[in-house]
Amino acid sequence: MGPLLKRPFASLFFLVILALFTLPLTACGAHNSARGVAYGTASSASTSYISANAALAECNNVNTTINLTGQVSTYYQAGVFVPNILLLNVTAAPQQLFSSSTASIEIVPYSESTSGAKTYGPASDFLFMDKLTGQMTSNPIGNLSYATIQAALKQLGLTSSIPASEFFSRVYVVILGMDTTYDAATVEYFDSTSGAGPLSQSNFLLPIFYANPAVYAQYKPVADLEQLHPFWSYQSSGYSDAQFGQLDNQICQQMSTGGRVPASVGDMDGVDMVSASQYLKGFLHTAAGARFDHSNFMARAWVRYGLPVWQKVRAVIRLL
């Protein structure tokens, strides 16, 4: 009998393990093939691992074609990070929001697996929070408009204190429903006199993301998302990872004109990235150096069940 026939069980076991190893890696490689690199395939630690000390961006700029600008940040409640809520500080807004009953703005989150392949969630609901008192409106609303601004002024007791045009100078927008599987969001501007569709759409990355654009590109190799990074144009600047973190901290400081929102500076800095992966939209490390997307069921199953077995098998093979 030949050597393979003498060890049929061992040969079959090896083939099964090899198939398990190949299937999820093949799927993940195809997922990112548009960049010409098979991300998700096993490689050396130096190219597959992102440092646990990589700076995280908790804030981002929001710029749109409709003159809605500001900053968006992570949200903390009583010092505890709330991953599905964001805080929006509006520094400029279309005049129509203060004068027209037909204009409105919605924010729609989405995930993007490859450039152009967006999966949208439902439009976000909002609450409003007084910057001075912390008082918050109680009823979520689905858009920013003349009607919702007037209602918020009344509920917060600000009708006689400030004109509607100064609403956003006094009030934060609390964005609800920002599930951590989403990568970015679209700001959509509507005017009911011009039809049902949005007249303008502008996108921004949702915090938390990596402050260094090169690290973010390694984590999420999707060209459309990479170009939304606030520091994408600084890739050749020579800035260190820490300097990119400082740049993002400046955006956080702009949200409160010198203070810092969120006020929990340092809470997420230097945190172990494996533990924080639930907040980083599909990020996962494996001991083999592979990187998978959480949305891939086979990849998750492989990491949890197949990888430990494969490592043992590989160790045995090396001894043969």
Q: What is the pLDDT of residue 80?
A: 76
| pTM for the structure as a whole | 0.69
Q: What's the whole-number average pLDDT of the chain?
A: 74
**How many angstroms separate the CA atoms of 109 and 206, rounded?**
8
The confidence score (pLDDT) of residue 268 equals: 35
**Predicted local confidence at residue 76, as pLDDT:** 82
- pLDDT tens track for 203-235: 999 999 999 999 999 889 999 999 999 999 998
Closest residue by Cα to residue 220 from 303, 291, 117, 289:
291
Ranges of the chain with pLDDT below 50:
1-7, 9-10, 12, 15-47, 263-304
Q: Taking Cα atoms as reference points, which of 177, 159, 199, 197 lies closest to residue 68?
A: 199
Q: What is the pLDDT of residue 262?
A: 64
Q: What is the pLDDT of residue 53?
A: 79
17 Cβ neighbours under 8 A, 6+ residues apart: 306, 309, 310, 313
**pLDDT value of residue 255:** 80
Beta bridge partners of 136: 129
Q: Which amino acid is it at 23? A: L
* Cα 279 to Cα 283: distance, rounded to the nearest angstrom: 8
Give the type of residue at 191: D
**CA–CA distance, 108 with 125 (Å, rounded to integer):** 9
Q: Which helix (H) or strand (E) holds 53?
A: none
